[in-house]
Amino acid sequence: MNKKFNVAIVGATGLIGKKFIEVLQKRNFPVNKIKLFASEKSVGKTVYAFGKELTVEKLDEGCFLGLDIVFFSAGASVSLKYAPIAINDGALVVDNSSAFRNNPQIPLIIPEINGNLLKDSVSRLISNPNCSTAIGILPLKLLDQTFKVKRIIFTTFQAVSGYGQKGIDELNRVKKGAKPSVFPLNVNKNCIAKIGENDKYGYTDEELKMVNETQKIFNKPILISATCVRVPIKNCHGVSVEVEFEKEFFEEDIKGILNKTNGVKVCDLPSFETASGKDEVFVGRIKKSLAFKNGISFFCVGDNTLKGAALNAVQIAELLIKFGKIER
Amino acid sequence: MNKKFNVAIVGATGLIGKKFIEVLQKRNFPVNKIKLFASEKSVGKTVYAFGKELTVEKLDEGCFLGLDIVFFSAGASVSLKYAPIAINDGALVVDNSSAFRNNPQIPLIIPEINGNLLKDSVSRLISNPNCSTAIGILPLKLLDQTFKVKRIIFTTFQAVSGYGQKGIDELNRVKKGAKPSVFPLNVNKNCIAKIGENDKYGYTDEELKMVNETQKIFNKPILISATCVRVPIKNCHGVSVEVEFEKEFFEEDIKGILNKTNGVKVCDLPSFETASGKDEVFVGRIKKSLAFKNGISFFCVGDNTLKGAALNAVQIAELLIKFGKIER
């Protein structure tokens, strides 16, 4: 009796595309038909998923016809070009790229934080946040409800998988003595405090994503600074979060509130190794700030390919189904 | 005509002890006689330095007699026990351990910041700061003079050499599949947000060192939070610094001020690999804070075994000589 949907993944052969396939299967997403799209060089390859051999297809005129939901994870330029076509052909789009995240007419959603926005939304495209943003701000949901977040300083520890398979390959290559070609320094011998390009004010893309997306998701002008750093770790992003609240807070309440926050798991010391492959964001090293009267700091770690990408996008699609936004 | 001094290094066979030997030679420190001390298991070993074979000696009654200056780098318990004996036997002590750093009667010195305190000091023991503190706050010297530092949030990226040779050995061991025995998690697969033990408020030793030592060196109650993280890097510590000033500041002045700060080298993107073996603290990613009206952030990297340890201690001794504090 439950409805099933025709689903597609654009960028299906990439590191995150593969995670989409994994997550959809693991969560028993109600898939009727599935289509996989990728760039020219992967077209024609076969992938075993959902109990059958699937052939990777080309993005083409009419390729989205008959689809209910399309997950885009092939970079901003592909989304900019093809997402409007998918929508025009009748599909709902969940976009993992940065292409539409700052567009005020497009919802940017972390289901546990602002998923309810989807109830009344008429947008046919929903943006999925940046990996570090999703991991860094999920723990703030109930804390913000209770004490009102005023100011945040983010410092990230981001694995090479944040740059996709190319990032993982680069780490392996430079370990064997090759020169860096993907990252600006040898990522095996450096923590590289530069992810993406600098703007004229000295901020990188990645840092501005954290600032702008956090403000959009919490829907208020929180004062935010971010420093984003690539570390010689294969998978998972860590975020050190220093947060000031508007209201006076009670230190003894913090752990209880974090424990009640959906998607969060409180622990003493988060491990990148343990968090890899897990859905939760692990939060530890919770302590009262010594820099702010009403503030705390914590260190959180999550799988950037899951809550930081595919999992959050699939959770968005699940909400869209729940709220009856996908017709079939 | 220049005076030469009888010098000793306690903990001479450790990673930092070896750096002391290296730095003293490189800087042509005016050594008359040199004695090397270490723990029982190294006693009797020979080390070639200062043009001769030196035999490592045991800490013993009367072992400091005739010495002018003794560098301690063998941990807090050794300093607590033997530094008073060295002083009693007539030596001046520069202590690289944490043993006396918080003692209000003991100067805690970064020569470029508060070296002038040594002019009028009568203390026979001078403390050398924690590695991350030295690297993180050196760039703040002239900025504080100009705009007055009010608040700092430190987030560190600390190499395994911060734990000495044992830390380097552990990284090599876990890379080959061994289980962690020195650090609380596998440091090859984790950024470990815990250096030292937690106190009852959730702060680690290392974090409290950054807070207390920064306040002591700047001699004012700056509001400071710190999160200290071990990273899978062999050498050098990185510190992400977010700082709020009391006074209005001029963004265009910042780089010029940092460029004029002794011991600091301004660059676009600091490299752990490049900073290793260098005396300077490399400062990059300088940007206006988006969290504070009057604030900036930067990322700095320095060699924790040099400016973070041996170099700073030898610079202290050079100042003591300059100010005529060492008699011969």
Same structural domain, A162 and A289: yes
Domain residue limits at A68: 5-129+309-322
pLDDT computed for residue B61 by the predictor: 86
pLDDT computed for residue B235 by the predictor: 98
Residue/partner pairs of B251-254 with CB below 8 Å, 24 or more apart: B251/B288, B251/B296, B253/B146, B254/B143, B254/B286, B254/B296
For residues B102-116, average pLDDT = 98
A132, A240, A243 from A287: Cα distances, Å: 21, 12, 11
Q: Domain holding A281: CATH number?
A: 3.30.360.10
Same structural domain, B168 and B38: no
Considering just the CA atoms, what is the radius of gyration of chain A in Å? Answer: 20
Contact call for A297 and B227, based on CB within 8 A: yes
pLDDT computed for residue B288 by the predictor: 96
Question: Is residue B327 included in any domain, yes or no?
Answer: no
A267 part of the active site? no
The pTM score is 0.97
Same structural domain, B106 and B185: no
A270 inside 8 A of chain B by CB:
yes
For residues B281-290, average pLDDT = 97
pLDDT computed for residue A252 by the predictor: 86
Residue/partner pairs of A184-189 with CB below 8 Å, 24 or more apart: A184/B269, A185/B269, A185/B271, A185/B273, A186/B273, A187/A160, A187/A230, A187/A231, A187/A232, A188/A232, A189/A232, A189/B233, A189/B234, A189/B272, A189/B273
CA distance A315 to chain B (A): 27
Query: A93 by DSSP, 3-state: which?
Result: strand
Contact call for A225 and B242, based on CB within 8 A: yes
Same structural domain, A114 and A235: no
Is the Cβ–Cβ distance between B36 and B8 less than 8 Å? yes
Distance CA A49, CA A7 (A): 13
- Domain count for chain B, please give it: 2
CA distance B41 to chain A (A): 32
A162 inside 8 A of chain B by CB:
no
Same structural domain, A194 and A292: yes
Q: Kindly provide the residue ranges of all beta strands, DSSP E only, lying in B27-86, ordered along the sequence.
A: 31-37, 46-49, 52-55, 69-72
Distance CA A245, CA A17 (A): 37
B251 confidence band (pLDDT: 50, 70, 90): confident
Residue B195: count other Cβ atoms within 10 Å of its Cβ. 21
Give me the catalytic one of A63, A228, A236, A237.
Answer: A237
For residues A260-268, average pLDDT = 98
Distance CA A177, CA A171 (A): 10
CA distance B163 to chain A (A): 17
φ, ψ at A208 (rounded to 5°): -70, -30
For residues A168-184, average pLDDT = 97
Flag whether pLDDT at B90 surpasses 90: yes
Strand partners, A266: A283
Question: Is residue A224 included in any domain, yes or no?
Answer: yes
Query: A54 by DSSP, 3-state: which?
Result: strand
Burial of residue A224 (CB within 10 Å: 0-12, 13-18, 19+) is buried
Same structural domain, B217 and B145: yes
Contact call for B291 and A185, based on CB within 8 A: no
B256 confidence band (pLDDT: 50, 70, 90): very high
Question: Is residue A164 included in any domain, yes or no?
Answer: yes
Distance CA B326, CA B92 (A): 7
Residue among A7, A126, A25, A3 nearest A67 (CA): A7
For residues A209-230, average pLDDT = 98
Flag whether pLDDT at A27 surpasses 60: yes
Is the Cβ–Cβ distance between B209 and A279 less than 8 Å? no
CA distance A59 to chain B (A): 38
Same structural domain, B42 and B188: no
Distance CA A128, CA A111 (A): 10
Return the percentage of chain A with pLDDT > 90, whole number.
95
Strands B281-288 and B295-302: antiparallel
Distance CA B9, CA B73 (A): 7
For chain B, how many residues are written?
328
Query: B139 by DSSP, 3-state: which?
Result: helix
φ, ψ at B212 (rounded to 5°): -70, -40
Same structural domain, A219 and A101: no
Across all residues in chain B, what is the average pLDDT? 97
Residue A135: count other Cβ atoms within 10 Å of its Cβ. 32
Tokens read off for A121 = 């939304």
A185 → closest Cβ in B185, B271, B287: B271
For residues A82-104, average pLDDT = 97
B131 part of the active site? yes
Chain B residues close to A270, C-beta within 8 Å: 193
pLDDT computed for residue A28 by the predictor: 97
Contact call for B224 and A291, based on CB within 8 A: yes
Flag whether pLDDT at B1 surpasses 60: no
Flag whether pLDDT at B119 surpasses 70: yes
List the alpha helices (DSSP H) in A176-293. Answer: 205-218, 251-260, 272-275
Give me the catalytic one of B63, B131, B228, B300.
Answer: B131
Flag whether pLDDT at A1 surpasses 70: no
Same structural domain, A86 and A167: no
Angle, CA of A95, A99 and A105, to the nearest 5°: 80
CA distance A53 to chain B (A): 34
Question: Is residue A147 included in any domain, yes or no?
Answer: yes
Strand partners, A30: none
Question: Is residue A328 included in any domain, yes or no?
Answer: no
Residue B40: count other Cβ atoms within 10 Å of its Cβ. 8
A-B CB pairs within 8 A amount to: 142
φ, ψ at B305 (rounded to 5°): -85, -15
Distance CA B300, CA A83 (A): 41
ipTM passes above 0.90:
yes
Q: Domain holding A20: CATH number?
A: 3.40.50.720
Same structural domain, B145 and B174: yes
pLDDT computed for residue A7 by the predictor: 98
pLDDT computed for residue B201 by the predictor: 87
Surface of A (166-225) touching B: CB under 8 A: 184-186, 189-194, 201-203, 211, 223-225
Flag whether pLDDT at A61 surpasses 90: no
The 10s digit of each residue's pLDDT in B12-60 is 999 999 999 999 999 999 999 999 999 999 999 999 999 999 999 999 9
Question: Is residue B328 included in any domain, yes or no?
Answer: no
Contact call for A225 and B184, based on CB within 8 A: no
Instruction: Kindly list the strands in the beta sheet with B69-72, ordered across the sheet, starting from the edge strand earlier in the chain.
Output: B31-37, B5-10, B69-72, B92-95, B125-127
List the alpha helices (DSSP H) in A126-181. Answer: 131-137, 141-147, 165-175
Chain B residues close to A190, C-beta within 8 Å: 233, 271-273
For residues A176-202, average pLDDT = 95
Same structural domain, A98 and A215: no
Pick A140 or A61 by higher pLDDT: A140
pLDDT computed for residue B252 by the predictor: 86
Question: Is residue A297 included in any domain, yes or no?
Answer: yes
Residue/partner pairs of B85-91 with CB below 8 Å, 24 or more apart: B86/B8, B87/B124, B87/B125, B89/B62, B89/B64, B89/B65, B90/B64, B90/B65, B90/B66, B91/B8, B91/B64, B91/B67, B91/B124
Distance CA A143, CA A262 (A): 12
Flag whether pLDDT at A327 surpasses 80: no
The 10s digit of each residue's pLDDT in A31-47 is 999 999 999 999 999 99
Same structural domain, B157 and B189: yes
B202 → closest Cβ in A211, A229, A286: A286
